[in-house]
Amino acid sequence: MQKKLRAVYFYLKIMTAGLFISCCFLLCGCNVYTMSDKGNDVSYDICEEGLMPDELKNIVDDKREQEFKITYTNNDYTYIVIGAGRRDHDNIRIDVDKVYKDENAIYIKSVLRSIATATDSGAMTCPVVVVRIERTMLPVVFR
């Protein structure tokens, strides 16, 4: 009986140690970032479809009808893409208010705006904006 208790106690210690080590590995991959409202302005271009890499064009075309926010990085640039999904009016666009960075991340502030036009044809549209910045490995925070 005493040998069974020792064996159970031994296995309990092994399982506890394994759980502790697993938690340590999981927590080591987590980072905490403080989100800043201030930082250094980032130079960016609003990228027309002709300047986008083919792979990114395909991704955008696949996601166009749903709301989405993605980043795409190649050897030269990082692309930040925001899609508003399917809209019932053609007088809607996405405007980028600000792109800035701090030591933790790149931040992008954008807003969905209605354009004042003389007539609205009522046609469906899927507004998308593609922002191109210098290549970075910093995470992007959408605001």
61-72 pLDDT, tens digit per residue, is 999 999 999 999
Q: For residue range 4-46, what is the model confidence (pLDDT) as tens digits? A: 777 777 777 787 776 776 655 555 554 544 555 678 999 999 9
pTM of the model: 0.73
CA 122 to chain centroid, in Å, comes to 31
Are 68 and 129 in contact by the 8 Å Cβ rule? The answer is no
Q: Which two tokens stand for residue 41?
A: 């302005």
User: Whole-angstrom Cα distance, residue 140 to residue 143?
Assistant: 10
Provide the 3-class DSSP secondary structure of residue 83. Answer: strand
Q: For residue range 96-134, what is the model confidence (pLDDT) as tens digits? A: 999 999 999 999 999 999 887 656 666 888 999 999 999
User: Whole-angstrom Cα distance, residue 72 to residue 135?
Assistant: 10
